[in-house]
Amino acid sequence: MSEQSRRPPAPRTRGPSPDKTARTRTLIVEAALDVFLARGFAQATMADVARQSGLAKGTPYHYFASKEALFEGVVQDLVVGALFHEQPPAFLEDETLEAFFRRTLLPLIRGIEQSRRVAVMRLVMTEGMRFPALADVYRREVFAPMNAHIRKVARQAVARGEQRAAVLARHPHLLMAPVWMGAIHNTLLRCTPEASIGRLFEEQLHALLGAGPR
């Protein structure tokens, strides 16, 4: 028997658990947004993100190959995961388009100010001109899917006889315009008092689809 065959088998090393991996990824993503907002995308480094998250210098690279990939992770985890985490809801029987959006979208928009989604929007607005890849990620992952969803259900509402829904079938951007206006008002211009993004969205929803005065 050779010396090599007499050696005991090397102990198996266990990788990190899925839960620990997910927690570490979340830690990196949250830290990345903090660093991007504080330093700007150009000046931010992966080492900054590691330091902000309290991890070893090379750890972020185990999850994201580059700073651009890390920004995509920010968008996926903090925005896409909140907005598109399940199958798009369907109309309930005899539900109007206004009622549908009140049920499905309004709760998400009302919660936007307590989440970090507005901070991601601010980053896209401030850095997207200098770094088109950031705007491309947001458009592909968030902006375009949301508009496509609004247009699709608006067309369904028109087919069901809601002629007021035709404006959103043509211009789905109008429904989400108050969200961007509120983000500009509150974060870029820092106007006071701050605007309630949820309230702006609700007023726009009624103006476009409501049956009469509030």
Segment 14-34, tens digit of pLDDT: 656 888 899 999 999 999 999
**Does 100 share its domain with 143?**
yes
Under 8 Å between Cβ of 36 and 44: yes
Q: Does residue 185 fall inside a structural domain?
A: yes
Q: Which amino acid would we find at residue 122?
A: R
Instruction: Give the per-residue SS3 of 152-199.
Output: HHHHHHHHCCCHHHHHHHHCCHHHHHHHHHHHHHHHHCCCCCCCCHHH
- 58 and 103 part of one domain: no
Considering the domain architecture, whether residues 39 and 93 belong to the same structural domain is answered as no
Residue 135 has what pLDDT? 96
Residue ending a domain, among 65, 94, 124, is: 65
Q: Mean pLDDT lowest for which of 5-14, 57-66, 105-114, 181-190?
A: 5-14
Given a cut of 50, whether residue 209 has pLDDT beyond it is yes
Q: Are residues 158 and 114 in the same domain?
A: yes
Is 94 in a helix, a strand, or coil? coil
pTM of the model: 0.85
Q: What's the pLDDT at 178?
A: 97
Does the residue 73 lie in any domain?
A: no
Amino acid letter, 28: I
pLDDT per residue over 42-98, tens digit each?
999 999 999 999 999 999 999 999 999 999 999 999 898 777 666 678 899 899 999
Residues 131 and 40 in one domain: no
Examine the domain organization and report whether 145 and 187 are in the same domain.
Answer: yes
In a domain, 48, yes or no: yes
pLDDT (mean) for 115-129? 92
pLDDT of residue 149: 94
Question: Which of residues 7, 36, 65 is at a domain's end?
Answer: 65
- Give me the pLDDT at residue 48, please: 97
Q: Is the same domain home to 119 and 173?
A: yes
Q: Does the structure show a pLDDT above 50 at 3?
A: no
Same domain, 141 and 51: no
Closest CA to 63 of 82, 77, 84: 77
Whole-number average pLDDT of the chain: 90
* Phi, psi of 113, rounded to the nearest 5 degrees: -75, -20
Percent of residues, the chain, with pLDDT higher than 70 = 89
Q: Is residue 1 over pLDDT 70?
A: no
What CATH number does residue 41 fall under? 1.10.10.60
With respect to residue 96, please indicate whether it lies within any of the assigned structural domains. Answer: yes
Judge whether 41 and 67 are in contact, CB under 8 Å: yes
Q: Are residues 32 and 113 in the same domain?
A: no
Q: Which domain holds residue 135?
A: 86-209
> What is the distance between the alpha carbons of residues 194 and 186, in angstroms, rounded to a whole number?
5
Number of domains forming the structure of the chain = 2
Same domain, 35 and 135: no
Q: Is 6 contained in some domain?
A: no
Of the candidates 131, 117, 123, which has an alpha carbon nearest to the alpha carbon of residue 179? Answer: 117
Are residue 114 and residue 33 in the same domain, yes or no? no
Q: Are 110 and 178 found together in one domain?
A: yes
User: Do 91 and 156 touch, CB atoms closer than 8 A?
Assistant: yes
Confidence at residue 6, expressed as pLDDT on a 0 to 100 scale: 56
In a domain, 177, yes or no: yes
**Phi/psi of residue 100, nearest 5 degrees:** -60, -45
| Residue 4: predicted pLDDT | 47
Residue 101 domain-assigned (yes or no): yes
Q: What percent of the chain has pLDDT over 90?
A: 77
pLDDT-derived band at 7 (thresholds 50, 70, 90) equals: low
- For 145-169, what is each residue's pLDDT tens digit? 999 999 999 999 999 999 999 999 9
Q: Quick check: is 169 in a domain?
A: yes
